[in-house]
Each structure stands twice: as structure tokens, then as C-alpha cells.
Amino acid sequence: MELRHPWYFARPTLSHQIRALETMLGAKPFARRTKSAVALTHSGKRVVFAGGDMYYLSDRRGDFSG
């Protein structure tokens, strides 16, 4: 699964990507607040935090190509 440019996704495609992410993580990273608003769950915050660490470490090594 690749989430480089999520603003390009149409709603059904984004929903499929979110379900795939939930399956991969074994947890739900987002909680729907209203029809148009979502918030990160505790699991989602952990994923974002870990992703930031991976980005920082790969960037320091010069391995990040995005």
C-alpha cells in the first residue's frame, strides 16, 4: 500500500486504502467524529509517531527518496 499523495484519492479509493491500513496494522488508526471529520485513535498516534522516527532516521542516513 502506498499513501504518497492521499489528496488524489476519490472517496471509495481512500476508504479502501484505510481498510487496507487497518488490516495491515490490526487496529483502527482513525475514529470518525462526524460525517466529515476524523481523529487519530491511540493506535493511529503511535503509527504517526513511529513513522516520524523512521522518516527522521532515513533522512539522516540519506536513504529517503520521497
Instruction: Please count the CA atoms within 13 angstroms of the CA of 49 that sit on its side-chain side.
Output: 7
54 Cβ neighbours under 8 A, 6+ residues apart: none
Tell me the per-residue pLDDT of 2-58, one tens digit each, with 9 for 90 and over: 555 555 556 678 888 889 989 998 999 999 888 788 899 999 898 888 887 777 777
Domains, in order of start, for the chain: 9-61 (1.10.10)
Q: What is the pTM of this model?
A: 0.55
Predicted pLDDT of residue 39: 92
